[in-house]
Chains A and B, each alone.
Chain A
Amino acid sequence: MTNSLTMQGVTYKRGMKTILHDVDLTLAPGKIVGLLGTNGAGKTTLMRLITGSAKGKGAIAVADHSSEAERKQHVSFSEQLRGFAGNVKLNRIVAFYETIYGDFEAERFADLADFLQIDTELKLAALSKGMKEKLVIALTLARRTDLYLLDEPFSGIDSMSRKKIINSIIQWKPENATMVISDHYVSEIAPILDEIVVVKDQTVYAHRQADEIREEFHIGVEAYYESLYERGNDHD
């Protein structure tokens, strides 16, 4: 079966400073992957390289599609809607998504909006940070595609809603699609993760199956992740 994501020898520099180097990463289809790392480790940059929003060197393919335009067709990224003015109504944003993304399902969005209690009659500027994040999640998941990239999707969302969304995320993910979630709340997302990818020392430092961590090290995902920082390379 085609891999959801393949990255080979990807390097990215900004202002002559290396942010990521020699990134090799392959993600199989149908997985939920936690993208972990400290602030500034390069998690967002890694996602931006996949979508083509950042320009690096190396080979990137999404569902075997390597050209930037084709990759965009197969990736749904939780972008922060900064291209819209604050006075735009949410239903206009939904119409925008429907127009430009052939795989955007209005019915799926309506279900998500209902689940997340989003009022599409509101204007973008009227939304709180948490509500805006919910809208971003709904728009991202309303597309039916191969790879979902959720960049810190729960920041600003209250803990009750966060748990509700995390617990229901499997129901919104198409069976063969892979979902990559970068988040600081490792303990909250740990139960739903199939794999983790840790970005450290400007590269993919570790890529492990969650079950493998539990069986091999007899610890949870969060403890394993923290141990990488506390004891260096003990588990690898």
Chain B
Amino acid sequence: MTNFGKLFKVFNRSKFATVNQLMLIELAVIAVSLIWNLIWGNLSQMSVLGTVSGWSGLAYLVGFILIARRAENAFTHDTYRLIPAKDTTFYLANLVSSLVMFLYLIALQVILHLVGIGIAWSQISPELDGIMRLRDISSAELAKGIMLVVLMVLALFILALTTITLIHLTVSATNSFLPAAGKRVVDAILYIVVIVLVVRLVAFFFGQVNQLMTTLNLQGTTNMVLPIIGMLVLAALESVLNIFLMKRWVETVAN
């Protein structure tokens, strides 16, 4: 039987290549933006940090979509599903590899930001000191706040992935076994559920981040712990359902 480590390795391979391609594109876009600034005479010490921050959000979004696409591909293709492994091992290896690749994407973005901060340090440093003195925030509190936001992002990432998989596997299972009318009803219900879920989760996430970033109210971050645990519990429940669907209902795309 193929063990977790080997599954993790093959799942990582394709996602790793995808993230690297995305990074190359992002670097090219950043370079073009900086050249554009240079041509128009707007290049300053803050330009790199500003440009990196500007494109970073899009890189996260595209990265998430590409990683999720790769992960979902594995559930319905014989190339992966014929691997002699238990469904639970298969599912967890796929999920963990997606998480690790997203962490890799975060690490690359952090490096880009650090380069930007390094270049603009002489300008940022006094402003940052001022804010921290004004708000009476210690470095430890700031680190704690950043850590909670990262944890929140990761929990949200895991929940988003397990939810996408749940929807994908449900559609796949119903497509195989329900007649056409039944499929349409299930699809319609799923569309409504997805829209409600996405709107609520995104609103919640931005509410939390907004509270932290605009007011730097670090006491408020303790309120983030419970939602993080909640999201992880929900992701675990969805995972149990996903594995059940894989075992009993989900077929691969025919040859």
Docked pose: A119 CA to B64 CA in angstroms? 35
Q: Is the CB of A73 within 8 A of B1?
A: yes
Q: Is the CB of B6 within 8 A of A70?
A: no
In the assembled complex, which residues on chain A have CB atoms less than 8 Å from the CB atom of B14?
85
**What 0/1 readout, one digit per residue, does chain B (174-198) give for beta carbons within 8 Å of chain A?**
0011111000000000000000000
Contacting chain A: which of B34-42, B77-85, B108-116, B228-236?
B77-85
Q: Is the CB of A83 within 8 A of B80?
A: yes
Minimum CB–CB distance for A16 against chain B, Å: 5
Which residues 58-80 in A have Cβ within 8 Å of B in the complex? 68-70, 72-73, 77-80
Q: Is the CB of A53 within 8 A of B81?
A: yes
In the assembled complex, which residues on chain B have CB atoms less than 8 Å from the CB atom of A81?
79
Q: Contacts A69-B84, A100-B83, A101-B2 known; A82 to B253 CB distance under 8 Å?
A: yes
Which of the residues B10, B78, B248 comes within 8 Å of A77, measured between beta carbons? B78
A207 within 8 A of B: no
Which of the residues A54, A82, A84, A100 comes within 8 Å of B2, measured between beta carbons? A100
Q: Is the CB of A100 within 8 A of B179?
A: no
Tally chain A residues at the interface, Cβ within 8 Å.
32
Q: Is the CB of A72 within 8 A of B84?
A: yes
Q: Is the CB of B82 within 8 A of A51?
A: yes
Q: Is the CB of A79 within 8 A of B6?
A: no
Q: Contacts A82-B79, A83-B79, A99-B10 known; A15 to B180 CB distance under 8 Å?
A: yes
Minimum CB–CB distance for A180 against chain B, Å: 14
Q: Top 10 nearest A-B pairs by Cβ distance?
A: A83-B79, A83-B77, A79-B78, A73-B84, A72-B84, A53-B252, A100-B83, A16-B179, A100-B2, A69-B86
Chain A residues with a Cβ under 8 A of chain B: 13-16, 44, 48, 51-55, 68-70, 72-73, 77-85, 92, 96, 99-102, 151
